[in-house]
Structure 1
Amino acid sequence: MTRPGPGASRVGHKNPPNEEPAERAAPGRRAGTAGLYAIGAAVACFFTVAVLGPSAFVPTLAGDGGHPPYSLDAHPPPHLVIGLAAGGVLAGAAGLGLCLAAVARGWRVRPFPLVAAGLLAAVAFTFLPPSGSADHLNYASYGRMAATGHDPYVTRAVDLPGDPVAGSPEEWRFTPSVYGPIATGSQAFASWAGGGSVRLTVFVLSVINTLAFALTALVLYRTARSDGRRLRTALLWTCNPLLLFHLVSGAHNDVLAIAPIVAALAVFTGPSPGPRRALAAGMLAGAGAAIKLPAALAGGGPGWTLLRDAWTSRSPRAVAGLAALAGGAGAVVAVAYVLAGPHALDQVSQASNMVSLATPWHLVDVLLGRGEHRGVIKAGSMVLGVLLFVLLARALPKDEEDQRRIAAALILAWLLAAPYELPWYDGFGWALLALLPWTRFDWVLLAHTTALSLAYLPARAPARIGLPESLSWLVTVVRPTVIPWTLLAVLVVLAALCLRSGRAPATGRPPRASAGSPG
């Protein structure tokens, strides 16, 4: 009787297809478990910052304390809340990194409990005051302007100093709205529901954001076709502690634009979508663009696919689909901006010349004389964006839905090349990467988001929060110097990965560590 060789499995104990051997699954399981604990610790840090109430991280909300959002009134010192937030960012990044490495080594866990846990955390954050920045006060102000008959694209917070909501912003008091008409509509609804209360208005805004976050999680989960891909959506989106911190706890309205573009890519599914689905995808992409203009880049994925099919096969169906996609997107954007007025784009045009302190372009800006040659920076960022798109489109993993790869390449190129970038913008990249197979580029975005998160601890004016002298180095050294050089290194690593990478096969499994992958 022949004995089985060392590589054979016993009868009844055969490894299932695509499953890692036990000796690789064991270390993966330990890393994955440690990663989940670290993610939980990060969420607990962020939760503590918010529940302590007004601080350097949490702006005061005027209104009846009996109304949500709720918190203590502990007035914690800046050192405590900044330390908690920094610890949360580092723990969250480490936890997510451990989970990615564990998956690459064979670790698997049921995705649905992770999704449920992430959504429960999102709901809990909704009932706490927003933390990290004061942008939600700007949203409330613009909504109040619209709800009371003022044009938020012309009116400024300083023009309505007696209004309890419109006059509440800490910053951007001299700046009209830069947000799209659909975003302004949601802000006006929140103002109508909240009345003259800043607290209630902000709470309604948080509820809308959380609903958009949950809708995105649902679409990503339902779009995934295997437990492995569903686990990916849970880790990269729903349980991603950095996104829970910035998009949900921070109440940033970027998630409102992310939801429709993810839905657009989900609708535009299959080898040859017809004009109806192309029209629906176009309308959803147009809605995203009418919230935040760069969201329109995601529509480039379906557009690229249809244009390629129309060019190579001369297919009337592809031509009709391309026309429907462009028509749907154009119609939604046109109607939104006609109702708001073309001047709604004025502030967007001015904002395109801005350079944020934590991007590599700040180094160039200082070298050129701080604002003297912003046109050079704008042109340089566009060239860099095109180059990054070409590299990413070639290197990102390809699966059966090619338009997702192109859309992700466009969005990531924008995030990595833009002169003005804040950590919550990276939510666009995480959502679109979650639609793709496992890839080493997850690590690039993790490094990018972590660095930007550490640059804005917090994203409020130091004079406004009374930042002590002992912490001034966060604003004078880390934000304008350490982080720009760090992100420049991230760009170099990204370019090297792109140049070395062939396109990954569409297996739906993470790349092995031996192939230069995570872990």
Structure 2
Amino acid sequence: MKVSLGCIGGSLLLTITVALLGPSAMVPELPGLAGQPPYSLEIYPDGHLVIALAAAALALGAIGLLTGLRADGPHPRLLLITGGTVAAILAFLPPFGSADHLNYAAYGYLATHGFDPYVTVPSDIPLSWVEEWTHTPSVYGPLATAAQALASGIGGSVRLTVFILALINAAAFIVTALLLHHATRSDPVRQRRAALLWTVNPLVVYQLAAGMHVDTFAIVFMIAALVVGSRFAVRRGILLGLGIAVKVTVGLVALGPAWESRRNLPRLALLAGVATATVGVAYWLAGPHAFDQVLNASKSISWATPWKLVQYGLQGLFGAGAYRVWIQIASLLVFVALAWGLVRRLGQDTVAVSLAFVVAWLFASPYALPWYDGLAFALLALIPASALDGFIAVRLAVLSFAYLPARQAHQPPDLGWLVDVVRAQLVPWTLLALTVALGVWAWRGAGRVPTPPGSAAPRPSAPSPESRSPSR
């Protein structure tokens, strides 16, 4: 365990260091008055240095996570305090890895100045601080937009807007950690596992705490919904609706509670009705265009997924064309096959069903970014250990290297191979192999749910949020 803790600790320190150094190829510059948070040393380090530090953080983090899940470790409370402290520190440092937080500030600015962020784009104003999504309306749910508008209204400047959003993000990360710690409290082994998968998971900290992505805000509602329990269908429905109102795709988690309530139709109707009403009210308040960009985004194909290889293959065979419809249909078939195999392999309790659909979506989707995987880790923390831990950990590590960093501004020209070779070629083939291996694992073990060494009791007797009957 010493090796694991050393790697995890080293990774977390390197993650903090990258942010602390200030604006660089990894850290976008934040317009605002000097002396205001987020704080940094403003050294303006060389791009090669910060990318190397980030790569080292990812490598150590992956090693620490994979070895830590196989060994005993410190008391779960110590891990909880450590992870919470790191998340709090990162809230006072500039976000890094992508420029998404600049988009959040832009959409908040638009909303507070009377524009519809689902129609108006940053270039219409124009907002000079936005790096990449200058011509893209918001793809986020109305609750995310409301948080962005609140931060913009309070902060005023881009710098303070980002800082307030970072505080919200850190709070969501820490509350999720507390919920997982509480849900697994009757078994120290599972409680430690939950902390390793979320709270001190260097890959999750790197992507969600240091990267400050809106996914963290959505995840806290979905985990709270699962921990609340099935008896409180109204509370669970509201929480599910709020999570979907942050980011639509997390709605896959709702399939677990729906499956659990399938034999209790009044409860299922109440759960679905409350969740739908919550989402409906949120989108009604946001206006008629809130769904437009979500539908457009669903047709996109990201470079690092195996589907980009499929697209290239189709172009080679049939000539120029995006072939998006073909790829969407094929990805849906892969999703269904993986989801069904994982449900049969993992079992059919609430969290396992939610996890099966989320993991199937992550592996099958034509558009994937590393911070999307945070939801899978949060759900994974609520079930006993299995080989799925390794699949998810390796996937996030590989995707993280594909987007090192996710922004292209100020990148050293001689590191173009990180995009042309790693992101466009090496990672898609690796993820293809990983997806095939996951499918084989799921279907070969379908129908039996083994208890791996070091896990708690078999799932029927293992404590879970559902055994205490609260509601998502």
Q: TM-score, normalised by structure 2?
A: 0.93
The 3-state SS of whatever aligns with 2:119 is coil
Paired position in structure 1 for 2:252: 297
Contact 2:37/2:159, CA 8 A, preserved across alignment:
yes
Residue 499 (structure 1) shift: 2.6
Q: Tell me which amino acid in the other structure corresponds to 1:322.
A: L
Paired position in structure 2 for 1:388: 338
CA deviations 1:474-501 (Å, max 9, x no partner) are 0111101000000011112112221332
CA deviations 1:325-382 (Å, max 9, x no partner) are 1011100110011111121100001101100000001101112237521011111111
After superposition, where does 1:21-420 map in structure 2 within 5 Å?
Answer: 32-102=1-71, 107-161=72-126, 166-195=127-156, 197-224=157-184, 225-268=186-229, 273-274=230-231, 277-307=232-262, 309=263, 318-369=264-315, 371-396=321-346, 402-420=349-367
Sequence identity (%): 48
CA distance in 1, matches of 2:444, 2:410: 46
CA deviations 1:131-171 (Å, max 9, x no partner) are 1000000000000111111110011111112xxxx442101
CA deviations 1:372-420 (Å, max 9, x no partner) are 210111111111111110111111266xxx1111001011111111100
Larger radius of gyration: 1
Contact 1:440/1:511, CA 8 A, preserved across alignment:
no
Pick aligned residue for 2:385 from 434, 438, 442: 438
Pick aligned residue for 2:430 from 482, 486, 508: 486
CA deviations 1:218-257 (Å, max 9, x no partner) are 1111011211111011000000001111101111110111
Q: Tell me which amino acid in the other structure corresponds to 1:366.
A: Y
Task: Indicate yes or no: 2:428 matched with 1:473.
Answer: no
The 3-state SS of whatever aligns with 2:28 is coil
The 3-state SS of whatever aligns with 1:59 is coil
Contact 2:261/2:267, CA 8 A, preserved across alignment:
yes
Contact 1:229/1:508, CA 8 A, preserved across alignment:
no
Q: Tell me which amino acid in the other structure corresponds to 1:192.
A: G
CA distance in 2, matches of 1:476, 1:204: 36
Contact 1:361/1:377, CA 8 A, preserved across alignment:
yes
CA distance in 2, matches of 1:465, 1:203: 23
CA distance in 1, matches of 2:442, 2:123: 48
Residue 100 (structure 1) shift: 1.2
Paired position in structure 1 for 2:462: none
Paired position in structure 2 for 1:21: none
Contact 1:437/1:508, CA 8 A, preserved across alignment:
no
Residue 286 (structure 1) shift: 1.1
Paired position in structure 2 for 1:456: 403
Contact 1:439/1:511, CA 8 A, preserved across alignment:
no
Paired position in structure 2 for 1:23: none
Residue 72 (structure 1) shift: 1.3
Contact 1:290/1:336, CA 8 A, preserved across alignment:
yes
CA deviations 1:454-491 (Å, max 9, x no partner) are 00111012xx214222x111011110100000001111
Contact 1:228/1:508, CA 8 A, preserved across alignment:
no
Residue 508 (structure 1) shift: 9.5
Please, which runs of 5 or more residues in structure 1 have no aligned partner? Answer: 1-31, 310-317, 513-519
1:77 to 1:431, Cα distance in 2 relative to 1, 3 A: same
Please, which runs of 5 or more residues in structure 2 have no aligned partner? Answer: 458-472
After superposition, where does 1:4-23 map in structure 2 within 5 Å?
Answer: none
The 3-state SS of whatever aligns with 2:246 is coil
Contact 1:141/1:167, CA 8 A, preserved across alignment:
no
Q: Greater CA deviation, 488-497 or 411-420?
A: 488-497
Paired position in structure 2 for 1:14: none
Q: Tell me which amino acid in the other structure corresponds to 1:500.
A: R
The 3-state SS of whatever aligns with 2:24 is coil
Q: Tell me which amino acid in the other structure corresponds to 1:259.
A: V
Paired position in structure 2 for 1:4: none
CA distance in 2, matches of 1:178, 1:219: 28
CA distance in 2, matches of 1:42, 1:459: 19
The 3-state SS of whatever aligns with 1:257 is helix
Contact 1:279/1:325, CA 8 A, preserved across alignment:
yes
Paired position in structure 2 for 1:29: none
Residue 266 (structure 1) shift: 0.8
Residue 108 (structure 1) shift: 4.3
The 3-state SS of whatever aligns with 1:357 is coil
